[in-house]
Structure 1
Amino acid sequence: MSSLMSMAPQKAVLAENGLIVNVEDVQVSMILAFKAGEVIPIDGIVIEGQCEVDERSLTGESVPVVKQIQSQVWAGTINLNGYIIVETTNLAEDSAVARMAKLLEEAQHNKSKIQRIIDNCSKFYTPAVLLISAGIAVIPTAFKVHDRKWWYSTALVILVTACPCALIHSTPVATFCALTKAAASGILVKGGDYLESLAKIKIVAFDKTGTEFTVTEFRSNNPDFSSDTLLISSIESKSSHPMADALVGYNRLNGVEPKPENVKGFQIFPGEGIYGKIDDKNICIGNKRLATREGCVTGPMGEGIKDGLTVGLGYVVMEGKVVGIFNLSDMCRTGVAQTINELKSLGIKTSMLTGDSHVATLHVHDQLEQAIELVHSELLPEEKVRIIKELKKTGPTAMVGDRMNDAPALATADVGISMGISGSAVATETGHVTLMSNDIRKEPQAIRLARRTRQKIIENIGLSIITKAAPVGLAISGHPLVWVAVLSDVGTCLLVIFNSMLLLRRTKTPKSKCCQSEQGSDPTREALLLHV
């Protein structure tokens, strides 16, 4: 993390005049320019140009990511081969790198349950050992027994052997190594407590986080209102929901750029849609529930618009009338099926909780070949919380989400896992684990790391206790060897540290048949990976 922070340059170039300024002086909405080979020092949005960016240091993504107009770029990433002009979205101290470093630093101070138990026991253990050792040395002396040297040596052996250094180091060193390994892999765990909870997870609930939306059809019954107007795009550009991204992208393909500054009174209705006012026109965009609440009849326009890939219909309501209706296609991202199979191989059950329609949910479920055990659709945020509470009764539960309406469920779950630094800030702050990229395959990777960490902690505690037996046994049998006690104490401490550091080794991710078949069927992907 220190190397990542130092990697971000302290200077930036203003696009309008080429003036070099300190990053600390850069304000939000300033326009900066970046050439090929330069490290991006601050978060922003590309407003001109195109390039490929190396995000490996931040997200763990080994393949360069293409950036074009309206793409998000992050501090600490490298512009590989293009010239881009960026509008800043954060101050330097609020950049993704700075937030990640701050959260990781806080995580290191967040002790796990096992560590707290050991620390509490040490408060009583250490004074007890001192009293016992003093008693072994003082009591025989008071009674003037023979061979007091043997008693002194035995007392010293007990004192040195009972030193709890190895036991105290058994948990925090393993936790620190695991947090470091996770951060280097693009997984931010906000403390040892959550790492410990992640190792115990038995159920994982998803909010269709591993899907992407595209608009396949749009209909309008208003001659003054069509899909190429700015209305939908401008209002949806103020929302972070994936469906909003799909609508904005659809309009961009038709040459329409959003103008969010024209939107007044923007509101979000969780589980229904959004509202905004443009040119004194009240416009709502959302699902059938929203249209019905606005008193609109939604039947005739939607007839015949559905196809086999639909996830449900969206409605555009203007001044209390349905003026547009659109169809969204929902497709699973690469790696979702592999993630479900890996979770099953770890003995973890899966569930899907979504606010989308039942048809949309079944469509995604079919793409995954009914691999998910429990499926719930058309849920409001409070209903997701209720289901998470029910799942927690059957075992430790994790919730995966990336949007603002997922925040209550993320907070309720034993472990909340937020997806991507580009997701909702509320979800990122509420979640206990953040996957820095949108690669959902990092989720089983995080669980495996948590389980390995728990195993290392158990091994360390066992080593800390067992290795104390030899010098104590020799002392009781009449051979109180102080050098053996010192060797045992220091050696065990080093052994615990080295055993914990094994977590930093690179491990091979098991590949499912699904993953192997996908890679085998995509020669372009194989060539790219070979090049990297």
Structure 2
Amino acid sequence: MSNMSEENTYRLQGLSCTNCAAKFENNVRGISTVEGVELNFGAAKLKVKGKVTVAQLEEAGAFDGIKVYQETQRPAENHTPFWKKRANIPTLLSLVFIIIGYTFRFAFDEAHFLSIGSFAIAIIVGGTTLFKEGLSHLLHLDFDMKTLMTVAIIGAVLIGEWAEGAVVVFLFALSEALESYSMDKARHSLTSLINTAPSKATIKRDNEFITVLVKDIVIGDTMIVKPGEKIAMDGQIVSGTSSVNQASITGESIPVFKAQGDEVFAGTLNEEGSLEVRVTKRAEDTTIAKIIHLVEEAQAEKAPSQKFVDRFANYYTPAIMLIAFLVAVVPPLLFGAVWSTWIYQGLAVLVVGCPCALVISTPVSIVTAIGNAARNGVLIKGGIHLEEAGRLQVMAFDKTGTLTKGEPEVTTVVPLAGNTAEKILSYAAAIEHFSQHPLAQAVMKAAKQRSCEKIIATDFHSITGKGATARIEGREYQIGSPSLFNGHAALSADLLEKINQLQNAGNTVVLLANNNVILGLFGIADQIRGDSHAIIKQLQQTGIKETVMLTGDNQATGKAIGKSIGITNVQANLLPEDKLRTIQAMQKQHGKTAMIGDGVNDAPALATATVGIAMGGAGTDAALETADIALMGDDLTKLPYTIDLSRKTLRIIKENIGLAFGLKLIALLLTIPGLLTLWIAILADMGATLIVMLNSLRLIRSNYLPNKSGSARL
């Protein structure tokens, strides 16, 4: 019984169209030992519950030449020319017989048996699969595009329009082949990600170097990576230094210097030195594996516009059949028109009403955009998040580590009460030694840089949100923000003025005191990222109406930093729960609001925002799990690219739906004067499908291109 319940995942090659995917899924479900099937068309991935072999699965997909691989196996790149693909051979043969048929037609006449025979062969060769599925769907009252085409072609034959019936078969098969081609192009970004990491690695075991498959590597193994080799597993460098190209993970074009203790990722390229790396994750848990999994899940998830199109198509297709029936019978019955003419017009309505272009208008755009983003170091976790990002009006930023470097530095030391700068730094560092707060780290770093005397503190006590106390040489000292000393120490007018000056210059002020006597103060500033101002400007150019900075700093410091960056709204003195309430308030006031943070401290706000965007997702599991979008590198310049890509995708989806409807509406209007022909109908249908696919594939070229100033050029 346990064998029957096993679940395996496979990768597919040659999955050409949505109809073929549905048929393949049904065929697999029909295997007696299969308990459940889940097919991801966008990612060409199959999950099967039950005992089944690859041979059985390939037999189920033999009608479309589908190849099946284990999930861990690397499918070979398929470079088969268009005209050599098995699925396209009947289409090409159909074209040959159409050309022969027209040759006989011009040589003799359209009713000659050689002409009709050639067109009949073209219909049979190119349309056998279509007819089987179309008739089966018709019997089950399942009105899809193949049902429409089958009825139209059979009708054309019955009224003697052999040539046009053959052309309809050929052009429909050609449009399906083009749909397959466009999906292959859209999936290419994901395929390139899958093939990024090597399948083998050199491992050092018992002082011997052996080549091991990545699936057999265990945590703790030591991996040897030579110059020019790709890193096969996530790990930590234990020996060696090198520059590592992390473009495949973070999208960064500039290699990053790595040394002992630094983290490296599977799929990245070691450019210079030799490295020894201790493996820290299994093959299925590496960052690249998580990215691939999340991208595949994102491509499987239907966007709101796609769900709308799917629901609409359920009503649209039967409606077209009803309209075609009325066009065929109403004029002859009520107005004495010629039956053959209006039956022909009805058949043309069936063809032009085929929902091919409408059905494919959204998924190709979504799959292409999500794959493009992943290739550029941006992980978008679903079509819904891609569309929502395209509608954003407001962007809220966590300050520390997002707009700033997240590494505060002491910029000013002001000793008071006869003390020296070195003395107050020594005392401050002794207290802050017990704290993990970034400001504490800045004080300790400054004391170390000035080679200050090391002093031991005891009885450390933290005061949440304000500071800390400790005892040094038996005396109690306090360190913290000015609010810690309100009412407890004499803050003179001169001292308050100095505090305000530092805060207005963008510093956070920390005071050191003993027995209510202020011994000195420190101005600490988190260094602003050099590209923050340019990024805010680019976001405004993409249509973001308001940018907001959320910070726990005081209002004066927050405003100074916000003004230097170009932020339009600064919300200061915020605790984590305050950030959550601020996001909710902005959503009520402005609508679609994004939150950009580190994915850990800002988790509640990220989850509440319309779109949560995490920075530095490559090294943070929490960022990958919490956020809707993760910028894999610690690189804010990807943000304008992401918003631009989302807006382009939304615009292209709307264009596609408009084009699909517009061309069909124009063709349908030709039925009023009786001018719609099967030729015009199929050209309108195929033209709409081709335009929609080519329009969607424009997203492949929407790349992140940093310019010389470091900002993104879209």
TM-score bracket for this pair, using the shorter chain length: 0.7 to 0.9
SS at match of 2:311: helix
Q: Indicate the residue corresponding to 1:200 in structure 2.
A: 391
Pairing partner for 1:450 from 626, 646, 650: 646
Q: Distance in 1 between matches of 2:333 and 2:609?
A: 60
| Secondary structure class of the residue paired with 2:671 | helix
Equivalent residue, structure 2, for 1:87: 278
Higher mean C-alpha displacement, 153-162 vs 476-485: 476-485
Count of aligned positions: 480
The structure 2 residue matched to 1:26, chosen from 208, 213, 217, is 217
Task: Give the fraction of aligned pairs with identical amino acids, expressed as a percent.
Answer: 36
Matched, 1:5 2:200: no
Q: Does 1:350 align with 2:541?
A: no
Aligned-pair CA distance for 1:170 = 1.3
Find the counterpart in structure 1 of residue 571 from structure 2: 376
The aligned amino acid for 1:19 is: F
> Aligned AA for 2:549?
M
1:488 aligns with 2:684: yes
Q: Report the equivalent of 1:388.
A: 583
Query: How many Å separate the matches in 1 of 2:652 and 2:427?
Result: 63
Cα 1:87–1:509 shift into 2, 3 Å? closer
Structure 1 residue 394: Cα displacement:
1.6
Moved more, 476-485 or 351-360: 351-360
Q: Match for 2:640: what amino acid? A: P
Equivalent position of 2:404 in the other structure = 211
Alignment correspondent of 1:338: 534
Is 2:664 the partner of 1:471?
A: no
How far apart, in 2, do the equivalents of 1:251 and 1:159 lie? Answer: 81
Q: Which residue of 2 aligns with 1:427?
A: 623
User: Are the aligned partners of 1:361 and 1:377 in contact in 2 as well (CA < 8 Å)?
Assistant: yes
Distance in 1, Cα, partners of 2:356 & 2:198: 41
SS of 1:39's equivalent in the other structure is coil
Q: Deviations over 1:166-189 (max 9, x none)?
A: 112112211222112212221111
Q: Does the CA-based 8 Å contact 2:422-2:450 persist in structure 1?
A: no
Q: Cα 1:14–1:423, aligned 2, differ >3 Å: closer, same or farther?
A: closer
Q: Secondary structure of the residue that 1:37 maps to in structure 2?
A: coil
Contact 2:357 2:688 in 1 (8 A): yes
Distance in 2 (alpha carbons) for counterparts of 1:70 and 1:490: 58
- Measured in 1, the distance between the counterparts of 2:466 and 2:216 equals 41
Cα deviation, residue 103, structure 1: 0.8
Deviation at 1:356, TM superposition (A): 3.6
**Contact 2:196/2:267 (<8 A) preserved:** yes
Match runs of 1:97-176 below 5 Å: 97-137=288-328, 147-176=338-367
Q: Give the secondary-structure state (helix, strand or coil) at the position aligned to 2:240.
A: strand
Name the CA shift for 1:92/1:481 in 2 (closer, same or farther; >3 Å): same
Higher relative contact order (CA 8 A, sep 6+): 1
Write the deviation string for residues 430-480 of structure 1: whole angstroms up to 9, x where unpaired.
111111111111111111111111211121112111211343233331234
CA contact (8 A) 2:410 2:442 kept: no
- Contact 1:271 1:379 (C-alpha < 8 Å) held by counterparts: no
Q: Which moved more, 1:450-459 or 1:142-151?
A: 142-151
Query: Which structure has the larger Rg over C-alpha atoms?
Result: 2
How many angstroms apart in 2 are the aligned matches of 1:508 and 1:10?
28
Structure 1 gaps, min length 5: 256-267, 275-284, 317-324, 520-532
Alpha-carbon distance in 1 for matches of 2:698, 2:543: 24
Once the two structures are superposed, what CA deviation does each residue of 1:308-354 show, in whole Å capped at 9, x if it has no partner?
877436799xxxxxxxx987431111211110111222332100012
Secondary structure, aligned partner of 2:223:
strand
Separation (CA, whole Å) in 2 of partners of 1:290 and 1:18: 62
Please, which moves more after superposition, 60-69 or 86-95? 86-95
Distance 1:3 1:462 in 2: 32
What per-residue deviation string (whole Å, max 9, x for no partner) do you get for residues 236-264 of structure 1? 5xxxx876987898899899xxxxxxxxx
More divergent stretch after superposition (355-364 vs 439-448): 355-364
Q: CA deviation at 1:291?
A: 8.5
TM superposition shift of 1:290: 12
Please give the root-mean-square deviation of Cα atoms over the aligned residues, in Å.
Answer: 4.3
Which residue of 632, 654, 657 maps to 1:461?
657
Displacement of 1:55 in angstroms is 1.1
Q: Tell me what 1:45 maps to.
A: 236
Output one character per residue of 1:223-247: Cα deviation in whole Å (capped at 9) or x when no partner.
9999699965xx85xxxx8769878
Question: What amino acid sits opposite 1:333 in the alignment?
Answer: R
